[in-house]
Chains A and B, each alone.
Chain A
Amino acid sequence: MLQITDLVKQYPNGFRALHGVSVTVDEPQVVAVIGSSGAGKSTLIRCINRLVEPTTGAIVLEGTDITKLNRAQLRQARRRMGMIFQEYNLVERLTVMENVLSGRLGYVGFWRAFRRNYPADDVASAFELLERVGLGGRHDTRADALSGGQRQRVGIARALMQKPDLLLVDEPTASLDPKTSRQIMRLICALAHERGTPALVNIHDVALAQSTADRVIGLREGNLVFDGKPTDLTPAVLTDIYGEEDWSATIRKDDDDEDEEAVAARDNGHALDAEAYAG
């Protein structure tokens, strides 16, 4: 599905963010990318859809090498990659629905986009997705009237509107409170599994990565230093990724508090989050 080979990124100021990273994702799984700030997590994700231009290396998605594409071909390729951002990056002054439908911009013509006249199938699946992410009925709300967690749900719906072959998720929870973070992270994982879409998720919260992802890769100063199952994250591995620190409190031995949280979510009427958690 996705094959990254020897990816190098050197910024114009000479800083080398990635020193030849190779990653292969060949099944629909959620891959958490961990590492300290500046380790190259964001650069890695952004190189895949070339929001950041890679210096050398190959990125092959479903048989196409993305690094070799021209602007028009890149736009075609980007339509197949949904991206979710830390700061949600919604168009604040537009409605929720317009933001979700903007996921189809790669497919509709300029004039239809101008008239907000999207195909019937797109509109129906936008409504469906909004319901799925827990925002049913909020389609006419302006994005700047939503809370952080709700905005991120819109961001998720926008990315899934593209019916992507790959989800690129850049620090989805870094701007959210701990509880919302978990709900959002579980929602992303549930949707990725439901749709059989592989997802690359940058994440700071090691415990959350461990409890939700199918696979974890660790970056340190632009090098891949870990690639394995969440259960393989030992204090030694974390020291390798982040440097010396007492890790005993960080590593989760058991998902003991989850039942309690699921109950709380149901009590609040967030049946969907419980569902997301179940899936």
Chain B
Amino acid sequence: MTLAEHAARYPEVWRKFSPRQTLIRYAWFVGVVFVAVWSIQNLDITWEYFLDAHIQAGDLIVRMVPPDWDHFSDILDPLLETIHIATLGTAVTFAIALPVAFLSARNTTPNTVLWAIGRFILVASRSINTVVWALIFVAIFGPGAIAGIWAIAARSIGFMGKLIAEAIEEIDHGTVEAIEATGASRLKVLLIGVLPQVLPVITGTTVYRWDINIRESTVLGFVGAGGIGIQLYSSINQFQWDEVAVMLLAVFGVVVISEFVSAAVRQRIT
């Protein structure tokens, strides 16, 4: 075969995508960029503030150093309170999320109405941020840790409930069938056939959510729901940046430790 014959048989250039595919890819790309540009342009942004941002930021950092360690003993109690709020909030979540998860899983729900209610609880809980939940509970219980615990629980139910419900929907159905075949009642089937299968997921998500909740509970004080956030917010408002620096370092320490603990526990149970 001569070179000319080769050239006739094969195209000269090779493209991964057909022109149509290329067009669609570019259209997506242009669309995404367009939406992003439109969004930024339409935001009511005063760009002048940007001009001296580096000065402001530099000023903040200078004021933060050196951190004021004299007040460290004052923040120990709020720090502990933060951890308590996260832990107790997670405990409340555990007690509520478990039944809701069983309602929201298609294979364990008693009926469609309860399933829909369970699903609604999960969606509503997850859509509203912990801080927004805290606003609501502060209005109900007044400022303090109780509002914080309930806010943590209200947001976490959706998170844990969804993950556990998904795990329940993925269990081995044969095992459930075998327990049903022994003549066990519905509740006993859940206890022996379903629960052992999802137990690792339940403990894993609980520990994981506890770790997230530690981080969340550091800001609950901004809306009055207890924890270190109260001191942090007041120090910021009083421009006590050296105190703020100490609190941020403390928060950083607690969050890193809790993340470490949570990862270690989860590694052990799986």
Contact = CB atoms under 8 A, between A and B. Distances in A.
Interface in B133-184: 172, 174-175, 177-184
Contacts of B188: 105, 110, 113
A77 B187 contact: no
Interface string A40-76: 0000000001010000000000000000000000011
B191 interface: yes
Given A77-B183, A93-B196, 6 more contacts: A78-B182, A91-B175, A105-B184, A105-B192, A113-B191, A168-B181
A81 B179 contact: no
A120 B91 CA distance: 36
B175 A89 contact: yes
Contact of B183 (A75, A110, A114): A75
A90 interface: yes
16 contacts: A51-B177, A51-B181, A78-B182, A80-B183, A83-B182, A89-B175, A89-B177, A89-B178, A93-B200, A102-B184, A102-B192, A105-B183, A105-B184, A106-B183, A110-B188, A158-B178
Q: Taking chain B's interface residues, is the majority helix, strand, or loop, or is none over half, making it mixed?
A: helix
Contacts of A83: 178, 181-182
A110 B187 contact: yes
A170 to B, nearest CB: 10
Interface in B187-201: 187-188, 191-193, 196-197, 199-200
B191 A114 contact: yes
A87 B174 CA distance: 8
Interface string A79-113: 11111010101111110001000111110001001
A45 to B, nearest CB: 10
Q: Give the one of B178, B180, B200 with max A CB within 10 A.
A: B178
Contacts of B177: 51, 85, 89
Contacts of A210: none
Given A110-B187, A110-B191, A94 B196 contact: yes
B185 interface: yes
Interface residues of B, number: 21
A78 B181 contact: yes
A162 interface: yes
A168 B183 CA distance: 14
B180 A51 contact: yes
A172 to B, nearest CB: 13
Interface of B: 172, 174-175, 177-185, 187-188, 191-193, 196-197, 199-200
A162 B172 CA distance: 22
Contacts of B174: 85, 87, 89
Given A87-B174, A91-B196, A106 B191 contact: no
Contacts of A49: 181
For chain A, give the interface size range. Answer: 20 to 34
Interface of A: 49, 51, 75-83, 85, 87, 89-94, 98, 102-106, 110, 113-114, 155, 158, 162, 168
Contacts, number: 79
A92 B185 contact: no
Contact of A105 (B172, B179, B196, B199): B179
Contacts of A85: 174, 177-178
Contacts of B178: 83, 85, 89-90, 155, 158
Nearest to A72: B185
Q: Give the one of A89, A114, A158 with max B CB within 10 A.
A: A89
A75 B185 contact: yes
A112 B56 CA distance: 67
Nearest to B177: A51
B185 A91 contact: no
Identify the 10 closest CB pairs spanning chains A and B, nearest first: A106-B183, A79-B183, A78-B183, A105-B184, A89-B178, A89-B174, A83-B181, A93-B196, A75-B183, A89-B175
B217 to A, nearest CB: 33
A158 B185 CA distance: 17
Nearest to A98: B192
Contacts of B187: 110
B197 A91 contact: yes
A105 B185 CA distance: 8
A110 B189 CA distance: 10
A64 B174 CA distance: 27
A187 B183 CA distance: 24
A93 to B, nearest CB: 4
B182 A102 contact: yes
A106 B188 CA distance: 9
A162 B182 contact: yes
Contacts of A104: 182
B193 A91 contact: yes
